[in-house]
Structure formats: structure tokens, C-alpha cells
Amino acid sequence: MILFTIIGAGNMGSAIAKKLLSSNFCTPENIAISDHSEEKLEYFERLGCPTSTDSSCFIPDSQFIILAIKPQILRSFLSNVQHLFSSETVLCSIAAGVNENDLYENSGCEKIIRIMPNTPLLVSEGVCGLYANNKVSSDEKNIIHRMLNCFGLVVECENEDLIDSITALSGSGPAYYLYVMEEMQKKAMRFGFSKEIAKEIALQTLRGAGALSYHSEENFEVLRKNITSKGGTTEAALHFFQENKLGNIWQEGINAAYKKSKELASTNSVSGKN
Ligand SMILES: NC(=O)c1ccc[n+]([C@@H]2O[C@H](COP(=O)([O-])OP(=O)(O)OC[C@H]3O[C@@H](n4cnc5c(N)ncnc54)[C@H](OP(=O)(O)O)[C@@H]3O)[C@@H](O)[C@H]2O)c1
């Protein structure tokens, strides 16, 4: 019996497999991986993982199937291989906007787990939302929880709706902070710094703020107030941001991502129930 089969060795599938191997979470023979491309599989084959361009071949012998293919092709893939799943198969999907009901209707698998990772998992600084339906045993859920610990923080979602929320928060979130860094870099360049130094200023300031919060027990607001002197420069900027309702804009932006996640789920749904 193989523990994990990863379908799709693209950005996410290969990152997951590499991290599981580098953190010694499991041995190569316990991670099978399939993809259309032999080239993408070569690396894993060399390490001793079972690999195949036939995505159906490991399914009958695997406990956890990790679906790392695009949402648009997920349904047809599941329909084609549904006869290979057993009542014990645990189907784990990282696809955005494909809900539990849709996964069940197309695969016939009752044990469904949805995982919402983000790209910083590539450097073990990810946030992964984890939702397991009530057919998944606590032992099975624990295995996936421990697996996700290799990638960073794991946030358990008690209901599926929270997966849409975490998609809008940490799933898309790295892009929000990158956007802020872009603006910081642009401004630093306008002040006369070189592009390279401007980038370092933006990056190190974000890292510093993150590290400061990480090493402190205080909440963000207290830390912010601690570095905002009355009548000082920071206060001037924050006053401008608040006057212009930057907080509301930020909240509304996250809301737009949340609504989009729901919209994708209903567009992707075969049953039309969601
Ligand atoms: N990238 C992100 O930041 C991110 C974040 C959170 C969640 N996700 C989710 O992760 C999933 C994968 O995204 P990705 O960016 O890793 O996509 P990707 O780079 O396109 O990887 C998908 C891989 O699966 C292969 N594939 C397609 N059909 C297959 C099949 N039947 N059997 C085996 N392999 C097959 C693709 O091959 P071909 O190219 O030849 O089709 C490709 O190599 C998506 O559902 C996405 O929603 C991604």
C-alpha cells in the first residue's frame, strides 16, 4: 500500500512531494506521483518514488490521493477514474473553488479533505487551510495535519465555508503584501535609491515588521502604537492612510477575493447545488 499518490507534478504537486521528501515525512516509496510529462517525473524517479504518466495506475493501492491538477480538469479526471477508488480512499484536493459536494459527485469518494495552501509553502513558510468532512477519521486527518506541518502553519477549518475565507486571506494574501512591497520599492526609487536598494528596503522592512510581531506577545495594534510617536513621521503617514480609509479598502479587497472563491465554487459545481 502506498501512503500518498500525488496527481500532477506541476508547481504545487512537485513542491508538496519535494517538501515531504526533504523533511523525511515519508520515504520515497511512500509517495507515488503522476504527470503527463516524463520530464517532470524524472527527478522523483531518481529519488526512488513510484512514478507514472498513467495517472490511474497507483490509485487502487493508495490511501491518500492528493489532487494537484487545475480545477477546470478535475471533474473529468475524477469521472474517468472513479471506478478505481475504494471506500477507504481519502481524496485530498488542493484545487481552489471545487467544493466537497462536487468532489464527491464526480469521484464517489466519501472521505474528502480540502486543503488550501499558499505558495510560501515552497520555503516552509506557508499557511494551509485544512477541512475534512465527517467521513474522514481522526487518524486520517492527523496524518494530513502532520503532513501539512512540513509546509508551515496549519489552520483547521471546521466548515467548508472557512476554506473560502482562508482562500481570500492567506491563499491570495502573499500577493497583497507583495503589492505593498512593490509600492514601497517604487516610492524608494522616486526618492532616489537604486532599484536594488529600493527592493531591499521594501523587503527588509516587511521582514522586520513580521519578525517583530513574531517575537512579541503583543497584538499588532499595540506594536504599531509603540512605534508611532505623537506628532512624528509615522503618525503623519498613518493619519493619511486612515483619513483615506485604507483599512476599509483592504477589508473590501479581501471580501472581493472571498466572493470570487464562492462564485468559482458555484461555477465549477456539476450539481448546481452550491
Ligand atoms: N499555484 C498556486 O499558487 C496554487 C495555490 C493554491 C492552490 N493551487 C491549486 O493547485 C492545483 C495545481 O496548481 P498548479 O499551479 O500546481 O498547476 P500546474 O503547474 O499546471 O500543475 C498541474 C500539473 O498536472 C498535470 N496534469 C494535468 N492532468 C493530469 C492528469 N490527468 N494526470 C496527471 N497529471 C496531470 C499538468 O500537466 P499538463 O500541463 O501537461 O496539463 C501539470 O503538470 C490547482 O488546482 C490550483 O487551484 C495552486
Measured by CA distance, the residue closest to atom 43 of ligand 1 is 10
Q: Dump pLDDT digits (tens) for 197-215.
A: 999 999 999 999 999 999 9
Mean pLDDT of 6-20: 93
For ligand 1, whether the C-beta of 117 sits within 6 Å is: yes
Q: Dump pLDDT digits (tens) for 149-176.
A: 999 999 999 999 999 999 999 999 999 9
Which ligand 1 atom is at minimum distance from the Cα of 55? 32
Please give the distance, rounded to the nearest whole angstrom, from the Cα atom of residue 127 to the centre of ligand 1: 19
Using alpha carbons, select from 94, 89, 183 the residue that is nearest to residue 137: 89
Q: Is 268 a residue whose pLDDT tops 90?
A: no
| Rounded Cα gap, residues 186 and 166, in angstroms | 29
For ligand 1, whether the C-beta of 96 sits within 6 Å is: yes
Measured by CA distance, the residue closest to atom 3 of ligand 1 is 119
Fold of 2-166: Rossmann fold (3.40.50)
| Rounded Cα gap, residues 244 and 261, in angstroms | 28
Which ligand 1 atom is at minimum distance from the Cα of 73? 28
User: By the 8 A CB rule, do 81 and 55 touch?
Assistant: yes
| Rounded Cα gap, residues 60 and 89, in angstroms | 8
The pLDDT value recorded for residue 262 is: 87
Q: Dump pLDDT digits (tens) for 77-95.
A: 999 999 999 999 999 999 9
Which ligand 1 atom is at minimum distance from the Cα of 117? 6
Q: Return the domain boundaries, the chain.
A: 2-166, 173-261
Compare 100 and 266 and report the one with higher pLDDT: 100
Residues of the chain with pLDDT > 90, as a percent, come to 89
DSSP state of 70: -
Using alpha carbons, select from 24, 28, 79 the residue that is nearest to residue 49: 28
Please give the distance, rounded to the nearest whole angstrom, from the Cα atom of residue 251 to the centre of ligand 1: 30
Half-sphere exposure of 195 toward its Cβ, with a 13 Å CA cutoff?
A: 0
For ligand 1, whether the C-beta of 70 sits within 6 Å is: yes
Please give the distance, rounded to the nearest whole angstrom, from the Cα atom of residue 41 to the centre of ligand 1: 14
For ligand 1, whether the C-beta of 9 sits within 6 Å is: yes
Measured by CA distance, the residue closest to atom 41 of ligand 1 is 36
For ligand 1, whether the C-beta of 40 sits within 6 Å is: yes
Q: Is 273 a residue whose pLDDT tops 50?
A: no
For ligand 1, whether the C-beta of 33 sits within 6 Å is: no
Q: What is the pTM of this model?
A: 0.90
The pLDDT value recorded for residue 266 is: 73
How is residue 121 written as a grid cell? 509553502
Q: In 119-191, which ranges are E strands?
A: 126-132, 152-156
Q: Is 190 a residue whose pLDDT tops 50?
A: yes
Half-sphere exposure of 24 toward its Cβ, with a 13 Å CA cutoff?
A: 0
The pLDDT value recorded for residue 271 is: 44
Do 2-166 and 173-261 fold alike per CATH? no
Mean pLDDT of 108-113: 97
Q: Dump pLDDT digits (tens) for 41-60.
A: 999 999 999 999 999 999 99
Q: Is 270 a residue whose pLDDT tops 90?
A: no
| Rounded Cα gap, residues 115 and 169, in angstroms | 14
The pLDDT value recorded for residue 269 is: 60
| Rounded Cα gap, residues 227 and 234, in angstroms | 8
Pairing relation of β-strands 111-116 and 90-93? parallel
Binned at pLDDT 50, 70 and 90, residue 128 comes out as very high
Using alpha carbons, select from 52, 12, 15, 54 the residue that is nearest to residue 32: 52
Q: Is 247 a residue whose pLDDT tops 90?
A: yes
| Rounded Cα gap, residues 77 and 55, in angstroms | 9
Measured by CA distance, the residue closest to atom 46 of ligand 1 is 95
Cβ-proximal residues to 89 (8 Å cutoff; 6+ apart), any chain: 59, 62, 63, 64, 65, 109, 111
Domain 173-261 sits in CATH at 1.10.3730.10
Which of 36, 42, 52, when mutated, tests ligand 1's pocket best, judged by the most ligand atoms within 8 Å of its CB?
36
Rounded to a whole number, what is the distance in angstroms from the first to the last CA of the chain?
35
